[in-house]
Every structure is written in structure tokens, then in C-alpha cells.
Structure 1
Amino acid sequence: MDISRNSRAPKRLASLLPGLATALLLYTSASGLLAASQELDAIVAVVNDDVVVQSELDREVDLTIPQLNRQGTAVPPRAQLEKQVLDRLILKRLQQQRAKALGITVDDAALTEAMNNIAKRNGLSLEELKATLEAGGIRFEDFRNDTRSQILTSRLQSQEVVKKIQVSEREIDLFLAKEASRLIEREQVRLQHILIALPDNASTQQIQAAEDKAKRLVAKLRAGADFAEVAVRESDGRNALEGGDLGWFEMGAVPALVSDLAYSMAEGEISDPLRSPSGFHIIKMREIKAATPENVTQTHARHILIRTNEIVSDDDAKQRLGQLKQRIQGGDDFATLARAHSDDTGSALKGGDLGWASPGDTVPEFEETMNGLVVNQISEPFKSPFGWHIVQVLERRSQDTSESILRIKAREALQRRKAEEATEEWLRQLRDEAYVEIRLTREQ
């Protein structure tokens, strides 16, 4: 139809224009928001039957950057950082899928406890932690979700990997024969030192040449060269003519550059080159003087535990234990009553016997009460995180536990070492068996 021939058309069109203009504006705005939303939530990876979207990747990158800054690590270009973070997100998603298949979850109570512990370790309340995070540009909800994910991953890896790791007594013997000096409590260390000096305002070429020389010397020393001889010939340090010998240091007086190494290096170990404003340093752990082991007082005790719940209140538990204590004092057998009434099933089968406990083996509330008793005395009912107890001290002894503690530390070190290797292999297998498609194409 030719609207020029319709006399009513111009008026009608004029009346519709404001509405059309508004509609067009709204449509344009909505289209822009939709486009932004689509860009924001673009799929950047397909992981089995799930996806990772751009907004999720952005949140994870935003969490990672402050961590790198706190560590003093240079933040890489955005595109490179996104690729690294996406790899981590894919592994996280695969583990979440595996945890779901196994029925592993993290409830709100466990998450709240973890958040409170994080705040406490940093000397903050939970509200102060929230304010600190948000002041640093980190949304509290993102941090909370990340913490839940970390707990879930830890539980999954513990079930799938860590609990399956076995360490034999023979492995502990071999470890201690070679690396016992890493585990002992250190009182003093004797260090040797080689310095490859750098001038003020050293050029890039000078820095690279000094680093290359330091690396060559480290390789030579680790191949068996005598440290003192190399120091006399090559070191620019003040102690070069003494074979680089820096003498003995109390642990609190070790130079800051090597303070961490002083606690972890084994006797005879050679460090990698360490950079400082004065140049590159090579350190040898020449000797370690162990702290004099102290005997500890161990306590042999037994107890009866009553846990509280929706049915058993604190008053109920306390009253029941008071009655049991009266019966024991009246001649009833402690062990028999423990078998019949204690909620600690592990010790109940042994008449409530806890065996020998060293300081720190039990929770503070229990240890404090136990330490306040004389032999054969029975405590009043008291509360710990596990419930309500009465405890009786059976024996005490003074014990040199240095050897057993060393073996415990060796077992833990071997378990950690094996766990790291096994977890890497498990993650690699998890990734290899999954369908993963990378769609990260956004230009930076």
C-alpha cells in the first residue's frame, strides 16, 4: 500500500514513533546485554558431559592473580594465565565428577569449620576475613566455593590415592640411613659457601655468565669435587681461603638467604645457586648438630566416653558419668563398665584402655585433665570436642622418644613423597580417560 495516499497514515505513524523508539532502544539494550552475556558465558572447555564457561574461568583468574602477587611471582600475560588456569579448572572439574560418582561431599558444617580455621590462622574473625578478601578484590562467596572445592579434592585424593599407600619398615630403615639428618631437631648447622660475585648495575650478559658459572660449579661439586678446593679457586666470598667455611650457626642466627635451607638440607648436600644483590651463592650443609633429646612423660590411662546428640544432652552425659564413677569407687570394675557404656568403640573393647600417650597425642581438654590426676585417680566428668569423659591414670613413665619420633617423621616423609608421585599419576590417568575439548578462543 502507498501510504502517501492515506491521509490518516502520517498521524498514525507519528503516534507510534515514540513507542517504536522505546521498543528499539530496549531491544538494542537487551541485544547488547545478551551479546555480553553470551560472550561472558561462552563455553571454554567441554569436560565429559559438563562444561567450563568463560565467567567461571574469569573468576578463577581473579582469584589466582592476588595469590601470585602475594608470592612475589610475576603475573604472566592474560592469555597465558588463562590457559594455565583452565588446565587447573579441567582437573578440578574431573575430580568433582569423580567425587560425585563416589558419593563424596562437603557439608556446610565442615565448610564453616574450615573457613573459621582459615580466619583463625590469620588472626582474624570470619567477618574480618570477609572484609580483607573483598578489600583485595576477591568475592567472599568465590573464596568460600574454592575452599569447598579444595576440601572435596583433598577427601577424594585421600580415598583414591593416599589411603592406598604403604610404607614398609625396610623403606624407613633405608630412608633413615640416607636422610635422617633432614628429620632431626636441629640446634646448630655448619655451612660452607661459594660466591660468584656480580658488580653493581650488572648487565644482563654479566648476570647470565655468573649464573652459568654457578651452575657449572654445582654440577662439579655434586659429581664429587672437594668443596673447599673449589671455594679457594673460584669463590669471591670473604671465606674463600678457609675453603668457604662459615662456621657454626645457631638455628636462629642462620643468614636469611639460607634460613629455610638450613632446616631441610641433609648433611653433605649442595644447594642450587641462590641469587642475591651481591651475586650467586652455593651452600653446602657440612655438619648438623642435633638438639639434645629430652625425655617426655608418658601417661597410661583409660576412659569412658559418652557422646551427646539429639537425645543425650550435656546434663544427661555428665550425670551418667557421675553415676559410673560412683559405681567404680564402690567396687565395680572400670573395664567392665567401659565395655558396656563407653561410646569410644575402639577403646571400649579394651576396657577403655588408651595405651601410652605422649604430650600432644590427645586433645588439650583431655590432656589437661589427665595431667592433673595422680596414678589411680579418676577424674570428675569433663567435656572435650568428642563428648563427655571420665579418665583414670594407670601409670606414668619418663621415656626417650627420639628414635620413635624419627621413625614417625620418616614414615610421614615417605608417605608424602609417594603420595605426590601417585597423585600425579592418578590425575594424568583421570585426564587421559576423560573427554576434554578446549574451546578457549577469546583474544586478549
Structure 2
Amino acid sequence: MNVKTKLSDYVRPLLLGAMLIGSAVQAEVQPLDRVAAIVDNDVIMQSQLNGRMKEVQQTIAKRGSTLPPEHVLQQQVLERLIIEDIQLQIGERSGIRITDEELNQAIGTIAQRNGMTVDQFRAALNRDGLSFDEARDQVRREMIISRVRQRRVADRIQVSDQEVQNFLNSDLGKMQLSEEFRLANILVPVPEGAAPEQVQAAEQQARDLYQQLQQGADFAQLAIARSSSETALEGGEMGWRKAGQLPPPFDSMLSKMSVGDVTEPVRTPGGFIIIKLQEKRGGGAQVRDEVSVRHILIKPNAIRSDAESQRLAERLYERIKAGEDFAELAKNYSEDPGSALNGGKLDWIDPSALVPEFREVMDSTPSGEVSKPFKSRYGWHVLEVMGRRATDSSEQYRKQQAQTILRNRKYDEELQAWLRQIRDEAYVEIKQ
């Protein structure tokens, strides 16, 4: 895949999926240029149209698709350029500007996504016939379109709590948010109409394989050597499945399994099956670590220097170690107004919500222990870790997923309606 393709693939999803602006392939030099269309206060030149036509033709050819008649394709491409130009003019009138710093950051991100430095990316673009300045302008204009759409469409979208709940309760919502499992299987077949002895022998064989797996045997190797499944030569690999796509009792078994677990042999019409859970994804299962912690904060101020604040924190630490009550000392000395009256307690808190200095000391302090004094941007602390726990935030995560799905759905609908509106309201004269 050349760099032009990579640039397009990256920039489109980064900036809300709008088409790239400008020609990704330099147009051939032409003796004379002419106006292809007048769009409000701007014009689209024939050279722009030719350049975009060439890019689109190359993209279609790479996909192996049949090109439509040139006049049909040209009409489609010109219409796309018109819509883009209207949005750029809206951005200009709205005062939307992309700073050089923002643009440099975007270019740097594109280069990084392509596994290159900016200098390497510049060289690669030149090899593919696209100047670095042209690429920068292309990205700048795409960023403007993205911000126009954010202001005119995305910021107006609202999703109510009732809409979220209705989606979660719907069959579509349950299907889209359900957990997926990547599975592998080993099948020990049982012939149709098999005698009891044959069934018993197949079951024993399956149990022998299960025992080997429990003792550390490689699942894929056993599948290749011993399974009669159609996926045996792929190591039993079944791909991604939702629980609802599997027959009982596997549908209920999977939710209780951890990645790497293997089921005991299960009798099915075709024989005895052993399934391994390779990976999980989706489903909203989210476990968050939380810590119960309390602290004393001593802040430097106009009458107490940083060194004096440190010495006070050290004295309090020694008093705690000598047996004085942490909560009483926090009430009397801590200068954190949010926790002092509560004996310094921050209660159960997500470590990611804390400043790095506090989080690092807290992570290294065992439960029930008091840390030595340490400094953060707020001052000097002494903390005590009172406990740790894992909290299941699956329901909250599912609601966030549902809200994102509904917002994206509304955005797609609103965007198409808005694009039709601005096209209808614009003055457009085709010079063809």
C-alpha cells in the first residue's frame, strides 16, 4: 500500500469520515485551466476536478471494481467537491482557523501511524508524487471541515436517558452490546445410530484429550492431530462468536469462563466437543480498581516555607507511627478542605483520578500502611491505604456504549440532512 493510500485511510477516520480535500495526486500540467463550477463566492477549477477524478479512478481500480462511465463519475466527483467547498466557506465565515501547531501535530500523528518520522513521511510523499506542502494543505482543509461539522451538527445532538434505556432493552441493543468470544474446538465424532459401546469409547477418548489439556498440552496441536472438526487443520479455530449464536449449554457456559479456559467434553448430536475460550471482547464487562485512602496535606504558604512544611509533615508521620490517631491529626492539621473534616478520607477512589505523585506512592503502599511524607504539586502529604477492591462498572459502561451508538446514528442522519440543506441553499453554477 503506498503512502497516499495510507494517508487517506488515516485522515478519514480521524476527522469524522469526511472525504479528503484537494487532489491527492498532482494534476498533469495543462496549458490552460478553466472554471468547472462557481460555488457561492468561490470557484472549482477544472484542474481540481481532474486531480480528484484521477485519485478516485485509482482507488476504484485498486479495489478491483469496474469504473462507471467517465461522465457519470465526473458528475459524482464534482458534486463532492461542491459540498466540500461549501463547508470550507462556512468555516471561513465562522472564523475557524487551524494553527500551525495543530497542523504540525496532526501531520506528526499521521506520520507516526505510518511508522515514520515526519522527515521520512515527507520523503515518502515526494516519492509518490505528492508534495509535503500539498499534504499539509489537504489536512488543514479537512480539519476545518471537521470543525464545521462539529459546530453545526454534532454539538446539537442530544441523547436522552430514556433513549439509552430503550436501546439497552431492545433486541438490537442486546445484540450490538453482547459479548463476543473467540473460540477453538476439538470434536470427537459419534456416528449416527452408534451403539452404546461406541458412544462410551468416544466419550473416553474426549476425556483423555481433556486431561491432556489440563496437564498443559497445546490445544491447537491436539486439534490438528485428533479433532474431526472441519476447522481441525486451523487448530480448531472457530473465530468470533456471540453466545446467542451457540447451542446450549455453551451459550451459558461461556459467560462464566476466563480466557484460556477449556470446557469439559459436551455431548452434541455430532459427538463430544471440547471448546477453548481464546479471547473475549465487548459486552460491557468492565472491572475498575479502586482504593480507599486517607491523607494529610500540608501546604507551603506565605508564613511557612516548603522546608518547614516538609518538617511538619515528617513530625506528623512520626506521631502516627507512635500510635496517635490518623483521623484526629487530619482534622487538626490537614489543609485539604475536601477531606480534613472527614479525618482525611477520600473514600473509594479510582487511582486514575489522582495526580501522578499521589498515585505512585499510593500504589506502592500496602493496605493498612502509612507512607512516608512525599511532595505533590499541592504540597506535602502523608497517606494511609485503608483497602483495595475491584468494582464492576459494566452497567455504566454499557450505558456509555449505548449513548455512543445512538449519538453516531443521529449524527449520520443529521449530517446528511444538513449537507442537503446547505447544498440547496448555496448558489451553484456548473460550467460544463
Task: Give TM-score, length-normalised by structure 1.
Answer: 0.52
Answering whether residue 409 of structure 2 is matched by residue 408 of structure 1, we say no
State how far apart, in whole Å, the 1-side matches of 2:421 and 2:154 are.
Answer: 16
Deviations 1:120-144 (A, max 9, x none): 1221111222222333333332222
Partner of 1:436: 428
Partner of 2:301: none
Partner of 2:290: 298
Answering whether residue 109 of structure 2 is matched by residue 117 of structure 1, we say yes
* Paired letter, 1:357: D
Answering whether residue 86 of structure 2 is matched by residue 94 of structure 1, we say yes
Deviations 1:159-179 (A, max 9, x none): 111122111222112212222
Match of 1:253 among 237, 253, 257: 237
* Paired letter, 2:393: T
Partner of 2:156: 164
1:335 partner SS: coil
Answering whether residue 60 of structure 2 is matched by residue 59 of structure 1, we say no
1:68 touches 1:74 (CA, 8 Å); kept in 2? yes
Superposition deviation, residue 62 in structure 1? 4.4
Overall identity of the aligned pairs, in %: 29
Runs of at least 5 residues in structure 2 that lack an aligned partner in the other structure: 1-28, 185-228, 259-284, 296-304, 317-331
Label 1:422 to 1:358 Cα distance change in 2 as closer, same or farther (>3 A).
Answer: farther
State how far apart, in whole Å, the 1-side matches of 2:251 and 2:168 are.
Answer: 16
Partner of 1:126: 118
- 1:14-413 alignment, distance < 5 Å: 36-39=30-33, 42-65=34-57, 67-68=59-60, 73-74=65-66, 76=68, 78-177=70-169, 178=171, 179-188=173-182, 253-254=237-238, 267=244, 289-290=254-255, 293=285, 295-298=287-290, 326=310, 329=313, 333-335=334-336, 356-357=349-350, 371-372=363-364, 380-381=375-376, 396-413=388-405
Label 1:160 to 1:336 Cα distance change in 2 as closer, same or farther (>3 A).
Answer: same
State how far apart, in whole Å, the 2-side matches of 1:90 and 1:184 are.
Answer: 41
State how far apart, in whole Å, the 1-side matches of 2:286 and 2:115 are.
Answer: 32
State how far apart, in whole Å, the 1-side matches of 2:132 and 2:417 are.
Answer: 33
Superposition deviation, residue 371 in structure 1? 4.3
Deviations 1:279-317 (A, max 9, x none): xxxxxxx969557646331357999xxxxxxxxxxxxxx
* Paired letter, 1:403: E
2:290 touches 2:351 (CA, 8 Å); kept in 1? yes
Label 1:85 to 1:374 Cα distance change in 2 as closer, same or farther (>3 A).
Answer: farther
Label 1:425 to 1:397 Cα distance change in 2 as closer, same or farther (>3 A).
Answer: same
Superposition deviation, residue 103 in structure 1? 1.6
State how far apart, in whole Å, the 2-side matches of 1:52 and 1:113 are.
Answer: 29
Deviations 1:302-354 (A, max 9, x none): 99xxxxxxxxxxxxxxxxx978974994886443599xxxxxxxxxxxx9x99
Task: Give TM-score, length-normalised by structure 2.
Answer: 0.53
2:286 touches 2:397 (CA, 8 Å); kept in 1? no
- Count residues in correspondence: 292
2:153 touches 2:414 (CA, 8 Å); kept in 1? yes
Deviations 1:260-296 (A, max 9, x none): xx5xx89579xxxxxxxxxxxxxxxx96955764633
Partner of 1:215: none
State how far apart, in whole Å, the 1-side matches of 2:152 and 2:39 are.
Answer: 20
Superposition deviation, residue 409 in structure 1? 0.9
Superposition deviation, residue 253 in structure 1? 3.4
2:143 partner SS: helix
Label 1:180 to 1:391 Cα distance change in 2 as closer, same or farther (>3 A).
Answer: farther
1:298 touches 1:398 (CA, 8 Å); kept in 2? yes
> 409-418 vs 389-398, which deviates more?
389-398
* Paired letter, 1:423: L
Label 1:326 to 1:189 Cα distance change in 2 as closer, same or farther (>3 A).
Answer: same
State how far apart, in whole Å, the 1-side matches of 2:65 and 2:308 are.
Answer: 61
State how far apart, in whole Å, the 2-side matches of 1:430 and 1:324 are.
Answer: 65
Runs of at least 5 residues in structure 1 that lack an aligned partner in the other structure: 1-34, 191-244, 270-285, 304-320, 339-350, 383-387
Match of 2:416 among 406, 419, 424: 424
State how far apart, in whole Å, the 1-side matches of 2:428 and 2:128 are.
Answer: 33
2:336 partner SS: helix
State how far apart, in whole Å, the 2-side matches of 1:336 and 1:411 are.
Answer: 35
